[in-house]
A and B are shown apart, each in its own frame.
Chain A
Amino acid sequence: MTDIATIILSCWGALFSLTAAVGLIRMPDVYNRIQCSTQLVTFGALPILVAIAVFAGPVSPYGSRALIVAALLLVLAPATSHAVGRSAYLTDVPMWPGSVRDQPRE
């Protein structure tokens, strides 16, 4: 049972990691790429960490370390994405020409 859950969760994480990486290549803009990189964490990395915790048990050395890394990523990834997006906007990184709205400038 735990093996099946591990395989499903880790396949989910690996597939979403790959799609987020392709999005990071294909997106036209820094801000869209930041959105893809947060998807890489929340849908790509977290299921794999939960899969490790399910496989090894949450109180074993591996499972507890995986849950610690998951908590760190959940706290730090949105903060860093916000800071990088803000600094990109303030240093005048151009938006995609097809963008429809530039709210801070209005």
Chain B
Amino acid sequence: MSGWFLALAIAEMVVVGVLVVRLARGPSVSDRIVAVNSICTQGALVVLLFAVAADRSGYLDVAIWLASFSYLGGLVWARYLERGLL
């Protein structure tokens, strides 16, 4: 079953590769914020799946931090675009 989770992690990396195209091409800053948020979510998933596949519980906290702080970063970016720095 650990090979299955490793394959899932690689599939999510393929999804990240598709999202990087939008990150590079996005015409506006908001497109890039959306792409970065999605990439961070997929990154947290990949870390979690790799932790299950390799049976290393030390990586789990990395996944929680990635999942929470990527979205907080997106909120901060949106607020900055809307109202300026302060």
B41 and A73 contact, CB distance less than 8 A: yes
B53 to chain A, nearest CB (A): 10
A59 to chain B, nearest CB (A): 14
- Please tell me the number of chain A residues within 8 Å of chain B, measured between CB atoms: 46
A80 and B64 contact, CB distance less than 8 A: no
Is A43 an interface residue when CB atoms closer than 8 A count as contact? Answer: no
Produce 1/0 per residue, A80-102, CB < 8 A to B: 10011111101101000000000
Closest to A22 in B: B18
B64 and A68 contact, CB distance less than 8 A: yes
Name B's interface SS: helix
Q: Which residues of chain B (1-21) have a CB below 8 Å from chain A? A: 1, 4-5, 8, 11-12, 14-15, 18-19, 21
A72 and B52 contact, CB distance less than 8 A: no
Produce 1/0 per residue, A58-81, CB < 8 A to B: 000110011011001100110110
A68-B64, A83-B75, A87-B79 given; A56·B52 CB < 8 A: yes
B13 to chain A, nearest CB (A): 11
A30-B28, A83-B74, A86-B78 given; A69·B34 CB < 8 A: no
A7 to chain B, nearest CB (A): 7
B31 and A30 contact, CB distance less than 8 A: yes
